Amino acid sequence: MRALGLLLVFLAIAATAQAPSFQPVGNMSQLMIYILYPASDALFYIERTPPKTDVEWNAVRNQALTLAEAGNLLMMPSRQREGDWNKDAKMLVDVSTKAFKAAMAKDMDGITALNQELNDACVVCHVQYRPGYGKRRAAQ
């Protein structure tokens, strides 16, 4: 009987516990410039200096994982936008996860084969949410 009482108290406490609160540190521009762009560039341009050593492959793995997790950061409630925002961010998570798995396997061809899919994930989102994306600036 005592155990049942303790269980009920525990369940009541667990039910009233609040979900963790997330606190963004950087704004959207900083997230893109300092995290997403460098991580995606490491994958887009991997053929320029192909990884040969375990240290170099670790760096590629780090960038792929960073990019995948950055997609999750885009889906934080305080960063979400209207429309297809989460769907587009999920595309980034999915392709980056594939790149991470390819990097774990040291599969250079696998990573380069994802180049178009990664590009598409970026462009689809930028077209919708980055004002002026793809428009040339007027000559001065």
Low-confidence ranges of the chain (pLDDT < 70): 1-20, 137-140
Find all residues with CB under 8 Å of 22, minimum gap 6, and list them.
Answer: 76, 77, 78
The span from the CA of 91 to the CA of 40, in Å, is 13
Q: Nearest CA to 71 among 82, 61, 80, 62?
A: 80
pLDDT of the residue at 21: 75
Q: What is the residue extent of each domain of the chain? A: 25-129
pLDDT at 132: 87
Task: Give the DSSP H or E segment for 62.
Answer: helix 54-74
pLDDT at 10: 62
The model carries a pTM of 0.81
Q: What is the CATH number of domain 25-129?
A: 1.20.120
pLDDT of the residue at 23? 84
The two structure tokens encoding residue 75 = 């889906």
Which pLDDT score, from 0 to 100, does residue 24 have?
85
Rama region for 11: left / alpha / beta (φ>0; ψ in -120 to 50; rest): alpha
